Each structure stands twice: as structure tokens, then as C-alpha cells.
């Protein structure tokens, strides 16, 4: 594995830390306010996701047609600008959408550079490291960010801006390579042509649908917990909610660590087993009404989720690197998974606005994940299952 994966790990850690510190800073804003409605947090999550869907035809090609290390710098600067808008008291829905634009640009470059640094042999391992460091950053970012935000929103936002800038500086140590020449013509038409070429095999279709399923369920569960924890576990502030979701993050780290030994790229179909288990644990969480059982259940949701998503990310990067470009493949993945996330979180926002409780919403989410996993499995023939 190329030694320059270490600057990527550091830069990604700092950027993901700041991403989640911002999220829990905004959650603290909502919890401190007496004027914002209950649907505001899922609405924030929705405006963040819109950029991933709208900009998908452009960001993949942008990552492939330019040095991915430089694209990461641009993305971090945009994220810092969004945090600055929050610091200047601009409407949070607008400011957080700007952060989403930065994240949209960041993702194809971050995952797209991995095949350049790791190669086929170490790609699952590199994804495991990236996923593990990302979740560790999420864990620390949400806990520390929430605590700082409960103390001072200004200090929390200033800290995130500094972290984005440091991440951009660390990225300067990554190699400057361009893996693809600029294509002429409409980016939207080219995006759909690439999508058609990429989805031609059962293996790639399974990976795209699987990634969309995972992230839609993860995003929805996160916003449900914001409403569920104060109602069921009597959590009082953003810090207590962040400490609760810490166990979800630890579980994902554990799953990411063990998955290279369980699911190599040649056996992608095995990921359906942890997907079923994740759905069952989400249903189980809806019946939990005390702190430690909730923590343990969140840990197992995270662990099965980590086992599920790491091989899917790896196979998408490899297939993309061999065909349409790894950055374009990640952008296409982001389009479908964020469209799914937007639909899922939007549905929950609508349900919350019509007084559907978080317990019922969580139970419904687990059931839908189980059914969706079953439908994906059912849609594959016996030969396709072998290929997957």
C-alpha cells in the first residue's frame, strides 16, 4: 500500500471530524431554540443531501479530470465557507446546504483516489482504514462538537473552520495525478451514458442498490434518534444524544475492522447477511426504553452496517477505476444513495410534521430495510448471485 495513504487518512479524519461537529452544532442550535419546529433537523439533513443529487453529473468528472488531491482542497474550502456563513448567522438551511456542496465535491475525490494509492490487492483494506478513521472522526466530532456547541456555538463553528483549513493543508502532501482527460459535450448526457455503461452488470447494480439502501437507512436513523432519545431516554441536550450515537460509531469501526477477513471482493453477495441483521437490530431498537440496552443495540446496528458497506464501497471503486473512472463511479454512487437518503429523510420529515412518533418511524424503518434487502436478493437469479 502506498505510504501516501497516511496523509489521506489524516486529512479525511480532520474533515469528517469537522463535518460532524457542524452537524451537532446545528442540532444544538435547534435544541436551544424555542421557535424552530420539530421537523427542522430532518429538513437540515435534506438540504445537505440535495447538493449530492443535483451536482452528481459534474462532480465525478471534475474529480477525474483534475488532480484529486487538489479537488479535496477546494472542497474543504467550500465547507469552511459554509461554516463561516453559520458563524455570521445566515439562515442555517442555506449555510448547511453550502457545507453539503463541499461534501459533494469531496466524496468522489476521497474515494476515487484510493485505487490510485492502494491497488486491487489492498483496496478492501484501504477502505477499511478510511471507513474506520472516518467513523472515529464522526465519533469524536459529534461528541466533542456537541459539548463545545452546548457551551458556545461561536467557538464550535470557529473550530470547524480551522479544522477544514488544516485538512486542506495536509492534502498538499498527496500526489498530484490526473487519471482522465476532459470529455466534451453535455455533462448531464455524459453522466447518464456512464450510468448506463456502469450498471450493465449484476455486480455493479447490486453494489449501487446496496450502498443506497445503507445510507438511506443510516441518515434516517440518525434524524429519528434526535427525536427518539429525548422522548424515550429523556436525553436533555445535544451532548447526550451524541454520547448515545457514539455506540453506533464504535460498532461501525468494529465492523469495518473485521470485514476484510470475512468478505473479500470476490464474495460481495455475503453482504446481504449483515444487511438483514442490521434491519432486525433497528426494529429491536424501537422496542428499547432504557439507556444501556439502547447503547448495545446501536453498537450491533453499527457493526453490521460496517460489515455491509465497506466491501460495497471497495467494489464500486474498483469497477469504476476499470471503466468510467473511480471519481465518476463514486459520484454516480452518491447520486443514487443521496437520492435514496433524500427520499427517506424527506418521508420522515413529512411523517414528523404529521405527528408520527419516532418509535413507530424507527420500527417502520427497520421493516423497510429488511423488505428492501429481500427484494434486492429476490431480483437476482442464481447465476447473478454467483457473480455478485
| Full pLDDT tens readout for the chain, 388 residues | 567 788 888 999 999 999 989 988 888 887 777 677 767 777 887 888 888 888 878 887 787 778 888 899 999 999 999 999 999 988 888 999 999 999 989 988 887 777 777 765 666 677 778 777 887 887 788 889 888 988 888 999 999 999 999 999 999 888 776 655 555 566 778 778 878 877 777 777 877 888 888 888 988 998 898 888 888 888 777 778 877 878 887 888 888 788 777 776 666 677 788 989 999 999 999 999 888 999 999 999 999 988 888 888 777 767 776 666 666 777 777 788 888 888 888 888 888 888 888 999 999 999 999 998 888 776 554 444 444 4
The pLDDT, as a whole number, for residue 385 is: 45
Is 184 within a domain? no
Is 183 within a domain? no
* Best CA proximity match to 59, nearest among 332, 341, 315, 343: 332
- Show the cell assigned to 59: 462532480
* Residues 257, 205, 188: CA angle, nearest 5 degrees: 110
Domain that holds residue 107: 5-174+194-387
- Give CA–CA dist 190/205, Å, rounded: 19
Alpha helices in 113-152 (DSSP H): 114-118, 123-151
In this structure, the dihedral spanned by the alpha carbons of residues 291, 292, 294 and 298, taken in order and rounded to 10 degrees, is 130
Is 202 within a domain? yes
Answer left, alpha or beta for residue 325, where phi above 0 means left and psi between -120 and 50 means alpha.
left
* Best CA proximity match to 209, nearest among 16, 380, 386: 380
The pLDDT, as a whole number, for residue 384 is: 47
Is 28 within a domain? yes
- Give CA–CA dist 260/232, Å, rounded: 36
The pLDDT, as a whole number, for residue 370 is: 93
- Give CA–CA dist 58/63, Å, rounded: 9
- Give CA–CA dist 325/376, Å, rounded: 26
Is 182 within a domain? no
Backbone φ and ψ for 120, nearest 5 degrees, come out as: -60, -45
- Give CA–CA dist 191/183, Å, rounded: 11
Is 186 within a domain? no
Is 68 within a domain? yes
DSSP 184: P
Its sign, for the CA torsion 268, 270, 272, 274, is: negative
Global pTM reads 0.69
Alpha-carbon Rg for the chain, nearest whole angstrom, is: 20
CATH of the domain at 249: 1.20.1250.20
Inter-helix orientation angle 272-286/358-378, to 10°: 160
Q: Which helix (H) or strand (E) holds 179?
A: none
How close are the terminal C-alpha atoms of the chain, in Å?
A: 26
Is 266 within a domain? yes
Contacts of 33 (CB under 8 A, 6+ apart): none
Burial of 158 (0-12, 13-18, 19+ CB in 10 A): middle
Total domains present in the chain: 1
Alpha helices in the chain (DSSP H): 5-32, 40-54, 56-65, 68-87, 92-112, 114-118, 123-151, 153-171, 187-198, 202-228, 238-262, 272-286, 291-322, 326-353, 358-378, 382-387
Amino acid at each position: 500500500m502506498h505510504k501516501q495513504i497516511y496523509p489521506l487518512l489524516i486529512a479525511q479524519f480532520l474533515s469528517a471530524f469537522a463535518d460532524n461537529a457542524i452537524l451537532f452544532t446545528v442540532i444544538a442550535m435547534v435544541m436551544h431554540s424555542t421557535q424552530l419546529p420539530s421537523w427542522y433537523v430532518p429538513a437540515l439533513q435534506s438540504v445537505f443531501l440535495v447538493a449530492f443529487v443535483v451536482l452528481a453529473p459534474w462532480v465525478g468528472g471534475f474529480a477525474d479530470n483534475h488532480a484529486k488531491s487538489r479537488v479535496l482542497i477546494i472542497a474543504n474550502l467550500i465547507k469552511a465557507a459554509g461554516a463561516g456563513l453559520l458563524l455570521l448567522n445566515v439562515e442555517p438551511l442555506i449555510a448547511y446546504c453550502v457545507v453539503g456542496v463541499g461534501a459533494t465535491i469531496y466524496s468522489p475525490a476521497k474515494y476515487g483516489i484510493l485505487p490510485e494509492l492502494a491497488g486491487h490487492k489492498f483496496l478492501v483494506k484501504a477502505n477499511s482504514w478510511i471507513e474506520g478513521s472516518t467513523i472515529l472522526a464522526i465519533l469524536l466530532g459529534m461528541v466533542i462538537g456537541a459539548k463545545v456547541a452546548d457551551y458556545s456555538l461561536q467557538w464550535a463553528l470557529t473550530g470547524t473552520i480551522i479544522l477544514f483549513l488544516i485538512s486542506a493543508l495536509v492534502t498538499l502532501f498527496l500526489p498530484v495525478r490526473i487519471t482522465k482527460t476532459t470529455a466534451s459535450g453535455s455533462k448531464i448526457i455524459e453522466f447518464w451514458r456512464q450510468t448506463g455503461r456502469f450498471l450493465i452488470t449484476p455486480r455493479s447494480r447490486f453494489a449501487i442498490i446496496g450502498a443506497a439502501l445503507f445510507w438511506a437507512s443510516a441518515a434516517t436513523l440518525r434524524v429519528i434518534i434526535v427525536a427518539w432519545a429525548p422522548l424515550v431516554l429523556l436525553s436533555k441536550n445535544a451532548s447526550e444524544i451524541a454520547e448515545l450515537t457514539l455506540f453506533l460509531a464504535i460498532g461501525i469501526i468494529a465492523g469495518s475492522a473485521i470485514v476484510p477477513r470475512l468478505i473479500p471482493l470476490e464474495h460481495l453477495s455475503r453482504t446481504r447477511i449483515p444487511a438483514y441483521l442490521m434491519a432486525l437490530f433497528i426494529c429491536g431498537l424501537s422496542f428499547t426504553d432504557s439507556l444501556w440496552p439502547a447503547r448495545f443495540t446501536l453498537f450491533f446496528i453499527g457493526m453490521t452496517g460496517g460489515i455491509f458497506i465497506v466491501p460495497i464501497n471497495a467494489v464500486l471503486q474498483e469497477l469504476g477505476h476499470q471503466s468510467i473512472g473511480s471519481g465518476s463511479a463514486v459520484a454516480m454512487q452518491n447520486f443514487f444513495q443521496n437520492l435514496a437518503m433524500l427520499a427517506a429523510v424527506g418521508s420522515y420529515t413529512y411523517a414528523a410534521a404529521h405527528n408520527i412518533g419516532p418509535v413507530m418511524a424507527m420500527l417502520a424503518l427497520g421493516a423497510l430495510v429488511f423488505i428492501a434487502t429481500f427484494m434486492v436478493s429476490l431480483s437476482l437469479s442464481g447465476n447473478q448471485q454467483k457473480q455478485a
